[in-house]
Structure 1
Amino acid sequence: MSDLPSGVATGIGSLPGTDIGEAAGVVFGELPEWPHLPELPARGLGSDLIGRGAGLLEGLPVQWWAFRWEIADLAGIDARRAADFLERDLDALLEVDASGPVRLNAVGPFTLAANLWRRTGGAMLADPGAVADLTASLAEGLRNHLAAAQARMPKACLSIQLDEPSLPAALAGRVNTESGLDFYRRVPVEVARDRLRELTEALGVPVVVHCCAPDVPVGLLQEAGVGAVAIDLTLLDLDDVPRMDALGEYLDGGGRLIAGVVPAIGQPRPGLDKEAADRVLSLWHRLGFSPDLLPQRVSVSPTCGMAGASPDYSRAAMEACREAAKRLHG
């Protein structure tokens, strides 16, 4: 299994617009050291995070029904549209001719389970057996997705990013039931760790987990075999001792961090790169690590996906990430 880059600029996932060829060209041009295949949710249903992930499932047909994605007997028209979007996205990789690291993106199993409904009602998260089946199905779908991407970019070194914004809520028992008046039972830490480990071991490429919540379970993710975690550093309180200790232990144990420090939306302006680099340096100084270790452990990214940004700002944010990474190399 190849290693992940570090000390470079990268992206998170989504971008504005509907032209995948143009979006891929921008990402591979602006973030050449670690580009990713962008997601374009503005294209509509099936290009959203959950629809895209549901479209990857093997042996679990889905449909869009009553304003949500659910398991079905046969794949619905919207699921077929999601599969078509994925195929077009993969074909865009033919134009970039990548020969270095490239990352694909997909929703993680717990966020998918929290947002994908069973035939009998309620989210799949309510049933541990359904979560296990979903994880196995997603693993198979992602293996096929990776193989299809590798066929289009035979010289690329692939990795995959799992987006898990709902993971902390699932662990804490904070995912709302269908009525909105109650919560699903919390997912035990060991269950989450085991499901994620099954997935990372099945894929055969390095795995990044992105979570845009303040309470990312970095220790759990490290135990699950994740190669790097991508977090929004602007949500991290540097005076929160337990969370800082957990992050410090993760990094001290060899963990890699993709530091989300450039705002995902805004206006292009001078100084974005310096502010981003300063945020990383503040964290590093607070943790007490050697400056020489920083480029070996930390890459720089926007705080989250940039689907809500303007095209001009998304380019400016990628440039700021690139310049911030250079500053941190010092």
Structure 2
Amino acid sequence: MTAATGIGSMPGDDAAAVAEATRTVLDSLPDLPHLVELPGRGATASMTGRGLAVLAELGADLQPAGWRLTGGGAGVDHRRARSLLAQDLDVLEEQAQGLSGSFKIQVAGPWTLAATVERPRGDKLLADAGARRELAQALAEGVRDHVRDVRRRLPDVTRLVVQVDEPALAAVLDARVPTASGFGRHRTVHPPEASDALGWVLGAATEAGGEAWVHTCAAGTPLGLLRGAGARGLAVDLSLMTAADHDALGEALEAGDSVVLGIVPTTAAAAGPEAGERALVERVERWLDMLGIDPGTVSGQLLVSPACGLAGADVAWSRRALALSSDTARRLS
């Protein structure tokens, strides 16, 4: 049957909001709930901060320009990021007692981290081939430990999806990431290197007992590269897909992989008549018809979700967006 899920982020800026968001996700997305992320709490709870919290061995601290590796131990903000992740997992463990079936966690990918974190002496890790390799390997080891920890906390969950978020990958491959001065751009990373580093992280998730997916809400991300690196699921914003992307998603479904179609607007302001449940169902059915795919043959692989994270929504719309995703999936089933 068609299922619904969320991308990860939710609105809120304190511990009470974490508990509320966790309850909302568990109630609204029974088929594939996820660990909530609340970047409204600041840089230590952002996608980059959460990714660094998972990182093994390497330390980081927060500078005026953003996150930077220290070359030594974790700084106070890095420790804060790890503490927030542990607290969120504690809330999840308390509220999800007895949860079985499927669950999803998210982590920033190696190329998004390399494009947003600086080396100890400045400028992005992206500028240094050795540094970005070390980062990817440390992230892979951290993901392995993270998956084991979540499995320990949720012992009855039989399917643990690990969603690797790579919104910056397209910019990395196209040499669109600015240097520290802002006047230049970092050199392109060639696809084989990009695939290898991503593959280390996806492979670590799989080895630890997870099911590796990749999410991107950026246009131009090569979906074939993601699958070649080991992704067994692709989560995308359907409105950004090109004809080639549609073909790649169809190939993924035909190969037995999962596809998450981001179709629900992420804010109330972006919602229009096309955001109703019936219109969303028709949109998915038209997409499947365009690809020549019988809905009944992929119902167990196809999921629907908001187009991206919901951190920019208000609480009311975040609940509505998840409910629309769930209702749309139910009607498609």
Do 1:93 and 1:149's aligned partners in 2 also have CA atoms closer than 8 Å? no
Please show how residues 280-299 of structure 1 align to structure 2 within 5 Å. 280-299=284-303
Q: Which amino acid aligns with 2:6?
A: G
Structure-2 residue corresponding to 1:121: 122
The secondary structure found in structure 2 opposite 1:296 is coil
The CA distance in 1 between the partners of 2:136 and 2:225, in whole Å, is: 17
Q: Which amino acid aligns with 1:13?
A: G
Query: Could you tell me which of 162, 178, 182 is aligned with 1:176?
Result: 178
- Whether 2:44 is the aligned partner of 1:14: answer no
The CA distance in 1 between the partners of 2:243 and 2:148, in whole Å, is: 42
Please show how residues 20-35 of structure 1 align to structure 2 within 5 Å. 20-35=18-33
- CA deviation vs aligned residue, 1:274-305 (integer Å, no higher than 9, x gap): 22222222221111112322413310000011
Please show how residues 166-315 of structure 1 align to structure 2 within 5 Å. 166-203=168-205, 204=207, 205-236=210-241, 240-266=242-268, 272-315=276-319
Q: Which amino acid aligns with 1:244?
A: H
- Whether 2:52 is the aligned partner of 1:47: answer no
Q: Which amino acid aligns with 1:243?
A: D
The CA distance in 2 between the partners of 1:245 and 1:158, in whole Å, is: 27
RMSD: 1.7
Structure-1 residue corresponding to 2:60: 62
- CA deviation vs aligned residue, 1:65-116 (integer Å, no higher than 9, x gap): 1231000023221111101101101101222121121111111110001001
Q: Which amino acid aligns with 1:153?
A: L
Do 1:264 and 1:304's aligned partners in 2 also have CA atoms closer than 8 Å? yes
The CA distance in 1 between the partners of 2:175 and 2:256, in whole Å, is: 30
**1:232 to partner: Cα distance:** 0.3
The secondary structure found in structure 1 opposite 2:35 is coil
Q: Which amino acid aligns with 1:10?
A: T
The alpha-carbon distance between structure 1 residues 25 and 42, as it changes in their structure 2 partners (threshold 3 A), is same
- Whether 2:87 is the aligned partner of 1:88: answer yes
The alpha-carbon distance between structure 1 residues 142 and 269, as it changes in their structure 2 partners (threshold 3 A), is same
Do 2:48 and 2:108's aligned partners in 1 also have CA atoms closer than 8 Å? yes
The alpha-carbon distance between structure 1 residues 195 and 144, as it changes in their structure 2 partners (threshold 3 A), is same
Do 1:218 and 1:250's aligned partners in 2 also have CA atoms closer than 8 Å? no
The CA distance in 2 between the partners of 1:128 and 1:277, in whole Å, is: 45
Do 1:162 and 1:207's aligned partners in 2 also have CA atoms closer than 8 Å? yes
The CA distance in 2 between the partners of 1:38 and 1:319, in whole Å, is: 16
Q: Which amino acid aligns with 1:209?
A: V
The secondary structure found in structure 2 opposite 1:148 is helix
The CA distance in 1 between the partners of 2:100 and 2:291, in whole Å, is: 35
Structure-2 residue corresponding to 1:3: none
- Whether 2:113 is the aligned partner of 1:112: answer yes
Query: Could you tell me which of 315, 325, 330 is aligned with 1:326?
Result: 330
Do 1:55 and 1:82's aligned partners in 2 also have CA atoms closer than 8 Å? yes
Structure 1: gaps (5+ residues): 1-5
Structure 2: gaps (5+ residues): none
Do 2:223 and 2:245's aligned partners in 1 also have CA atoms closer than 8 Å? no
Do 1:222 and 1:255's aligned partners in 2 also have CA atoms closer than 8 Å? no
**1:16 to partner: Cα distance:** 0.7
The secondary structure found in structure 1 opposite 2:299 is helix
Do 1:10 and 1:299's aligned partners in 2 also have CA atoms closer than 8 Å? yes
Q: Which amino acid aligns with 2:186?
A: Y
Q: Which amino acid aligns with 2:85?
A: L
What is the count of residue pairs matched by the alignment? 321
The CA distance in 1 between the partners of 2:243 and 2:83, in whole Å, is: 46
The alpha-carbon distance between structure 1 residues 9 and 281, as it changes in their structure 2 partners (threshold 3 A), is same
The CA distance in 1 between the partners of 2:243 and 2:305, in whole Å, is: 24
Do 1:294 and 1:328's aligned partners in 2 also have CA atoms closer than 8 Å? no
The CA distance in 1 between the partners of 2:320 and 2:32, in whole Å, is: 17
The secondary structure found in structure 1 opposite 2:43 is coil
Q: Please, what TM-score do these two structures have when normalized by structure 2?
A: 0.91
Do 2:249 and 2:259's aligned partners in 1 also have CA atoms closer than 8 Å? no
**1:269 to partner: Cα distance:** 8.2
Q: Please, what TM-score do these two structures have when normalized by structure 1?
A: 0.92
The secondary structure found in structure 1 opposite 2:3 is coil
The secondary structure found in structure 1 opposite 2:304 is strand
**Which one is further off, 23-32 or 274-283?**
274-283
Do 1:108 and 1:163's aligned partners in 2 also have CA atoms closer than 8 Å? yes
- Whether 2:156 is the aligned partner of 1:146: answer no
The secondary structure found in structure 2 opposite 1:158 is strand
